[in-house]
Chain A
Amino acid sequence: MKNKDIDILEYKKKLKQHLLDICPTVVPDELKILIDKFTLKKFKKNELLIEAGTYSNKLFFIGRGIVRVFYFKEDKEITNALVKENEIIAGAYSIFTGEKSFNNYETLEASITLYIEYSELEKLYNKFHSLERLGRLLVQKYYATYIKKTHDVLFLSAEERYANFIRNHVELINRVSLRFIASYLGVAQETLSRLRSK
């Protein structure tokens, strides 16, 4: 077997586990049909999965690597999300509003992804009830992440946000530049350094 085929099998296995975690009742044959539709795509470090100002209809499963989601505001980069292996990322704004993406999605490490077009996904949702369920739970999960972040920015102190981040993403601290983590947490880099030394 070629290397690429081994990769696909390995990452599809991870994807399968991830989707089963989200929706344990999914019908195995239907899940297999869905997973077969994913295509492997590799990215170099600092390459864009989705570029701001373009339309995107893709949903990515990250098999390996990290993706940073950011936008520009008044010439400053604001990091919105940091997503690592075994998680899903999509141009949700573009997919659900039909507008161009305002975020850039950039790899911070060489990354391996599996992707599917959202329209392809919707066809399968229509065809199979258990995949429709998976789709509902998937969008609920990502919507939850989004509003949780909004809540945290509104109501938690910098220290609490940092503590949450450590609890949920401790391994990112050694893999991601501190300025991106500071931006993601909405704190100055000096504040982050102070919190870390505590």
Chain B
Amino acid sequence: MKEAISDIQKYRNQLKENLLQICPNLNLEELEELAQKTTLMKIAKKEIFIKTESYSDKIYFIIKGMVRVFYEKENKEITSVLLVEGGVLAGSYSYITGDKNFCNYQALEDTTVLWLSNNELEILYKKYHSIERLGRVIIEKYYASFMKKSYDVLFLSAEERYNTFVINHRELFNRISLKYIASYLGISQETLSRLRAKQ
């Protein structure tokens, strides 16, 4: 029991470091209060912890592991986001639009997250300026990465998208099945193998 308590403290410390990376001028006391309100959750590899058609009521902070976001279209799974430790799951379709989610969120490794209910988060937003800022910065980052991905799909060749991915996520190659990377890049697995062989 004692160990479990010190574990969660360790994860909360990690969370504070991660959030300071995203938003460096966070007030430390306000950040501490946020961290203390989080709950630990462990997700087994392959488990889908947010399902399509659901409504989200939580924000998740990834402490360890990896999460894949995907949707199904014409019986095919399309991977739209890959997130590792330090990542925040806040911009879900349901949270932002109020409609049902159309994506599934799946752990690709045994994954440790800390979560906070949206209600709790709203209370912190109201109470603290710097937490409200954190909320804005997280959404802006989501928005930016979403737009950047759309841009890449529109204007970059498969090879350029692959090169961008290698520059930004080299460490993922050894941790994740190539079929997910191919799907994320919007190319076939054969093309991905060909591009890898070129390197």
Contacts and interface: CB of A to CB of B under 8 A. Distances in A.
Interface of A: 71, 73, 92-93, 96-97, 99, 102, 125-126, 129, 132-133, 135-136, 139-140, 142-144, 146-148, 150-151, 154-155
Contact of B143 (A73, A99, A102, A143): A143
Nearest to A93: B147
Interface residues on chain B, size class: 20 to 34
Contact of B139 (A132, A133, A140): A140
Contacts of A136: 125, 132-133, 135-136, 139
25 contacts: A92-B147, A93-B144, A93-B151, A96-B140, A96-B144, A97-B147, A97-B148, A102-B154, A126-B133, A129-B129, A132-B136, A133-B126, A136-B132, A136-B133, A136-B136, A143-B139, A143-B142, A143-B146, A146-B147, A147-B91, A147-B96, A147-B97, A148-B99, A151-B102, A154-B102
B154 A73 contact: yes
Q: Is the interface of B mostly helix, strand, loop or mixed?
A: helix
Contact of A154 (B71, B96, B133, B147): B71
Interface in B109-146: 125-126, 129, 132-133, 135-136, 139-144, 146
Given A136-B136, A150-B150, 10 more contacts: A92-B147, A129-B129, A132-B133, A136-B133, A143-B96, A143-B139, A143-B142, A147-B96, A150-B146, A154-B73
B175 to A, nearest CB: 26
Given A93-B151, A102-B155, A133-B125, A146 B146 contact: yes
B93 interface: yes
A147 B93 contact: yes
Contacts of B97: 144, 147-148
Given A102-B151, A148-B97, A154-B73, A133 B146 contact: no
Contacts of A147: 91, 93, 96-97, 146
Contacts of B99: 148
Nearest to A98: B144
B143 A92 contact: yes
B19 to A, nearest CB: 15
Nearest 8 pairs of A and B residues by beta carbon: A96-B144, A136-B136, A129-B129, A143-B143, A144-B96, A132-B132, A144-B97, A97-B144
A129 B97 CA distance: 24
B143 A135 contact: no
A162 B125 CA distance: 37
A150 B73 CA distance: 13
A135 to B, nearest CB: 5
A146 B129 contact: no
B126 to A, nearest CB: 8
B32 to A, nearest CB: 19
Interface in B79-101: 91, 93, 96-97, 99
B93 A129 contact: no
Given A73-B154, A96-B143, A133 B96 contact: no
A135 B136 contact: yes
Given A143-B91, A147-B97, A132 B129 contact: yes
B102 A155 contact: yes
Nearest to B154: A73
A161 to B, nearest CB: 15
Contacts of A93: 144, 147-148, 151
A136 B129 CA distance: 11
Given A143-B96, A147-B93, A125 B133 contact: yes
Contacts of B154: 71, 73, 102
A140 B96 contact: yes
